Chain A
Amino acid sequence: AQKVTQAQTEISVVEKEDVTLDCVYETRDTTYYLFWYKQPPSGELVFLIRRNSFDEQNEISGRYSWNFQKSTSSFNFTITASQVVDSAVYFCALSEAFGANSKLTFGKGITLSVRP
């Protein structure tokens, strides 16, 4: 069975601090996909990134970066120089092989509060 663990439940930082959100996953599949979604206070789910299990390259997008390490089954998300607008709930998710059977298993989410 698939499982996603986000051990941190709430994180509070001061603006401009860097913050890392941890994600650990379990799966028996050799091919899988990992995701991060952001849920701002307005409630919608915003897609941030998708990685497949064959691509362990780290990715950077502006102030966001992701570190995927298969050896530790982790897919951590770092926000550099955090801003108040980064305040949200962040979900890590896992899905099995490509195709219509791409049901997502979500972690419980991390509530990030960025204080001015």
Chain B
Amino acid sequence: IAGITQAPTSQILAAGRRMTLRCTQDMRHNAMYWYRQDLGLGLRLIHYSNTAGTTGKGEVPDGYSVSRANTDDFPLTLASAVPSQTSVYFCASSPGSNEQFFGPGTRLTVL
């Protein structure tokens, strides 16, 4: 693993199903972030974690939850997916220098 990986690359999901998007980094960065990207809206912060064991809400947290059990992993869970959660999801990490390193993204479609 080099940098940040996200899985799956893409997913089609039925509404009401539970889904976890995975994010793993091997750079030992303390801070991690989840953004969603929607056409015409740019990227918006969903949740973040400043360090393992802590999480916080971003601009659009409703319908999503996160956990940060260790430094490397920061999964994002949709407990009951809805069509409005159709988006491209980006995970990012930062060593605390304000520069964020982004994963390749997960394209999620909720039908």
Q: Give the residues in chain A near B43, CB-CB below 8 Å.
A: 91, 93, 104, 106
Q: Output the nearest chain B residue to A1 by Cβ-Cβ distance.
A: B59
Q: Give the residues in chain A near B99, CB-CB below 8 Å.
A: 35, 47, 50
Q: Give the residues in chain A near B96, CB-CB below 8 Å.
A: 98-100, 102
Q: Give the residues in chain A near B48, CB-CB below 8 Å.
A: 103
* CB <8 Å contact, A106 and B51: no
Flag whether B40 is at the interface (Cβ < 8 A).
yes
Indicate whether A102 sits within 8 Å of B100 (C-beta atoms), given known contacts A43-B88, A107-B42, A108-B41.
yes
Q: Give the residues in chain B near A109, CB-CB below 8 Å.
A: 42
Q: Give the residues in chain B near A103, CB-CB below 8 Å.
A: 33, 45, 48, 58
Q: Give the residues in chain B near A45, CB-CB below 8 Å.
A: 90, 102, 105
* CB <8 Å contact, B97 and A98: yes
Residues of A contacting B: mostly? loop
* Size bracket, chain A contacts: 20 to 34
Q: Output the nearest chain A residue to B104 by Cβ-Cβ distance.
A: A44
Q: Output the nearest chain B residue to A33 by Cβ-Cβ distance.
A: B98
Q: Output the nearest chain A residue to B44 by Cβ-Cβ distance.
A: A106
Cα distance, A88 to B67, chains bound together (Å): 33
> Could you show 30 A-B contacts with beta carbons less than 8 Å apart?
A9-B40, A35-B99, A37-B102, A43-B88, A44-B105, A45-B90, A45-B102, A45-B105, A47-B99, A47-B101, A50-B99, A91-B42, A91-B43, A93-B43, A98-B96, A98-B97, A98-B98, A100-B51, A100-B96, A101-B50, A102-B31, A102-B96, A102-B98, A103-B33, A104-B33, A104-B100, A105-B45, A106-B35, A106-B42, A109-B42
Known: A107-B42, A109-B42. 15 other contacts (CB 8 A): A35-B99, A44-B102, A44-B104, A44-B105, A45-B90, A45-B102, A47-B100, A47-B101, A99-B98, A102-B31, A103-B45, A103-B48, A104-B33, A105-B45, A108-B41
